[in-house]
Chains A and B, each alone.
Chain A
Amino acid sequence: AQKITQTQPGMFVQEKEAVTLDCTYDTSDQSYGLFWYKQPSSGEMIFLIYQGSYDEQNATEGRYSLNFQKARKSANLVISASQLGDSAMYFCAMREGSRGAGNNRKLIWGLGTSLAVNP
């Protein structure tokens, strides 16, 4: 069964330091996509970064990078130079079948990691 595991309920990091948020996944599909989202207390789910299972390079988006280790089925999010505004919940999610026209399936979510950035 498809599953996303985020083992860190809460994390603390000092401002300007880097932090890694863990995510492991389980799927029998060869084609899938992995997402990271940030959710501040307002509730909006903000897209951060995407990694396709066939992508050979690790995804990067500004201060966000995804450490994709396919054999280990892990997709950890790395936030460099943390800022106070990074304090939020972070969710890892997976969608099977990342290729093909009209192939937009549901997202399976982890339980999230609450990140607090200390000044």
Chain B
Amino acid sequence: KAGVTQTPRYLIKTRGQQVTLSCSPISGHRSVSWYQQTPGQGLQFLFEYFSETQRNKGNFPGRFSGRQFSNSRSEMNVSTLELGDSALYLCASSEGTGGSGNTIYFGEGSWLTVV
């Protein structure tokens, strides 16, 4: 069974640009969450999608957005990039149904550098 796949792995953007990150969850998983990891703030929750619906959102500005497609693949977008958006962005996948579907698996992450 393939794991969580995130693309791209590494990218460099300029301030003011926008970026789109992609995540393909484990086959059969319907829940996708996104996290931002920085040395200063640690791991912070961005948002979670289940069956194409956003179920939960973290405390991030509106420049951060996401969506989920019918095949459970998800994208997150950051517009008008700022230097502080430089981070590792991690995508998490789970069955999302509770019970035995509790385990949450992560991808390798997308390293974003804003210059």
Contacts and interface: CB of A to CB of B under 8 A. Distances in A.
- Do A and B interact with each other, yes or no? yes
Interface of A: 33, 35, 37, 42-47, 50, 52, 91, 93, 95, 97-107, 109-112
B85 to A, nearest CB: 16
B94 A44 contact: no
B106 A106 contact: no
A46 B106 contact: yes
Contacts of A44: 106-109
B43 A104 contact: no
Contacts of A95: 102, 104
A105 B56 contact: yes
Nearest to A108: B45
B105 A47 contact: yes
B20 interface: no
B98 A43 contact: no
Interface of B: 31, 33, 35, 42-43, 45, 48, 50, 55-56, 58, 88, 90, 92, 94, 96-99, 101-109, 111
A93 B31 CA distance: 18
B88 A101 contact: no
Contacts of A98: 98, 102
Given A104-B50, A104-B55, A99 B99 contact: yes
A97 B56 CA distance: 13
Given A47-B103, A99-B98, A111-B42, 11 more contacts: A33-B102, A47-B105, A101-B98, A102-B97, A104-B55, A104-B94, A104-B97, A104-B98, A106-B48, A107-B45, A109-B42
